[in-house]
């Protein structure tokens, strides 16, 4: 494990919590970044149909944004973070004491297996040297039939590719960890989870927040959200996965559909123009003919 990378981010989050005055800054986000993540997560909650008073864990809760949201819906929400200054900010912001908070590390969660109906982790994987280890812990504490919602920055995005090019040019190590979407899906499947949805989040540049409305209402938004363009336009994804067994209730349709694996060559369609087999059931998008 890269201890230095983890330690640098822990110190960074503690600085954010002591120096930043706004809730977004405590988590290292822009105001737009936090707002768009919160809105997306709230829409997702409307679709998940959690049981009443569900037991919910937010790993890497920061200033407690999602803990308060979940507690406000009547759930038993617990926020966990390794940054004590961040937890103090969360407690200060939670004036009604609706949520509960705990200091702990994502690598070693202090709970028995299968404890929570919903486990949430937003803005965490990017700051971890060994994300697969943390994902294993998150999955461990999800009940059978429970849901895991985890965010991962999109390594395939054009902005992420440009950032890596700049870092290499300047010979700097990566500041954050981004991941190929299919790599995250494979990790989750290996942990016994069924990936239900991959929900894209589009963010404008920090120095151009007025562009935010373009990502919601314009033709540009529809193009960016189409398959397979979304793999290169989404800044980050929320992955929604259900733990265990085929007989559990499925969350309703939310966000971008998951593409199935590439079919074997023997199953490839032949002759004539056609849509790419990966996009069956996805939004209708014209694609080049796939020739095996």
> Does residue 31 contact residue 93 with C-beta atoms inside 8 Å?
no
Q: Which of 208, 212, 231, 213 is nearest to 287 (CA)?
A: 231
Q: Which of 239, 31, 28, 90 is nearest to 79 (CA)?
A: 90
Start-to-end Cα distance in the chain:
41
CA–CA separation, 215 vs 172, rounded Å? 31
Torsion 277-281-285-286 (CA) sign: positive
Whether 90 and 213 map to the same domain: the answer is yes
CA–CA separation, 242 vs 149, rounded Å? 9
Question: Which structural domain, as residue segments, surrounds residue 138?
Answer: 3-247
Structure tokens at 233: 């336009």
- Backbone torsion region of residue 252, taken as left when φ is above 0, otherwise alpha when ψ lies between -120 and 50, otherwise beta: beta
Whether 7 and 150 map to the same domain: the answer is yes
Residue 228 is predicted with a pLDDT of 64
> Does residue 239 contact residue 195 with C-beta atoms inside 8 Å?
yes
Q: Are strands 142-153 and 236-243 parallel, antiparallel or unpaired?
A: antiparallel
Count how many domains the chain has. Answer: 2
Residue 206 is predicted with a pLDDT of 55
Residue 251 is predicted with a pLDDT of 36
Residue 208 is predicted with a pLDDT of 53
Whether 239 and 291 map to the same domain: the answer is no
CA–CA separation, 165 vs 287, rounded Å? 28
Whether 264 and 219 map to the same domain: the answer is no
Q: Is 173 helix (H, G, I), strand (E, B) or coil?
A: coil
Query: Does the residue 253 lie in any domain?
Result: no
Whether 272 and 138 map to the same domain: the answer is no
- Residue 136 parent element (H or E): helix 131-140
236-271 residues labelled b (16+ CB within 10 A) or e (exposed): bbbbbbbbbeeeeeebeebbbbbbeeeeeeeeeeee
Residue 144 is predicted with a pLDDT of 96
- The CATH number covering residue 192 comes to 3.40.50.150
Residue 25 is predicted with a pLDDT of 86
Query: Does the residue 193 lie in any domain?
Result: yes
Q: What is the pLDDT along the chain (292 residues), one digit of tens a residue?
A: 467 899 999 999 999 999 988 888 888 877 877 888 899 999 999 999 899 899 999 999 999 999 999 999 999 999 999 999 999 999 999 887 789 999 999 999 999 999 999 999 999 999 999 999 999 999 999 999 999 999 999 988 777 777 777 777 777 777 788 888 889 999 999 999 999 998 888 876 555 555 556 555 554 555 555 556 677 778 889 999 999 854 333 333 333 333 333 334 444 434 443 333 333 333 333 322 222 2
CA–CA separation, 28 vs 22, rounded Å? 10
Whether 41 and 97 map to the same domain: the answer is yes
E-only strand ranges, 93-229: 100-103, 116-121, 142-153, 193-201
CA–CA separation, 274 vs 288, rounded Å? 8
């Amino acid at each position: 494990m890269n201890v230095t990378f983890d330690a640098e981010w822990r110190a960074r989050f503690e600085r954010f919590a002591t120096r930043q005055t706004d809730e977004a800054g405590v988590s290292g986000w822009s105001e737009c970044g936090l707002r768009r993540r919160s809105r997306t997560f709230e829409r997702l909650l409307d679709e998940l149909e959690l049981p009443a008073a569900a037991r919910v864990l937010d790993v890497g809760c920061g200033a407690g944004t999602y803990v308060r949201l979940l507690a406000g819906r009547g759930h038993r929400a617990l926020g966990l973070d390794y940054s004590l200054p961040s937890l103090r900010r969360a407690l200060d912001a939670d004036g009604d004491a609706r949520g509960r908070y705990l200091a702990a590390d994502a690598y070693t969660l202090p709970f028995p297996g299968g404890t929570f109906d919903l486990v949430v982790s937003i803005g965490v994987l990017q700051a971890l040297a060994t994300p697969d280890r943390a994902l294993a812990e998150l999955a461990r504490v999800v009940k059978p039939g429970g849901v895991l919602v985890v965010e991962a920055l999109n390594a395939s995005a054009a902005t992420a590719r440009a950032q890596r090019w700049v870092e290499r040019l300047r010979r700097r190590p990566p500041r954050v960890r981004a991941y190929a979407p299919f790599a995250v899906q494979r990790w989750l499947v290996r942990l016994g989870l069924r990936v239900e949805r991959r929900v894209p989040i589009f963010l404008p540049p920090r120095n151009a927040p007025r562009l935010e409305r373009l990502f919601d209402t314009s033709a540009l938004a529809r193009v960016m959200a189409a398959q397979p363009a979304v793999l290169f336009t989404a800044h980050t994804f929320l992955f929604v996965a259900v733990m265990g067994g085929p007989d559990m209730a499925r969350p309703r349709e939310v966000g971008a559909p998951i593409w199935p694996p590439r079919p074997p060559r023997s199953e490839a369609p032949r002759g004539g123009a056609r849509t790419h087999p990966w996009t069956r059931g996805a939004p209708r998008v014209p694609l080049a003919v796939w020739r095996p």
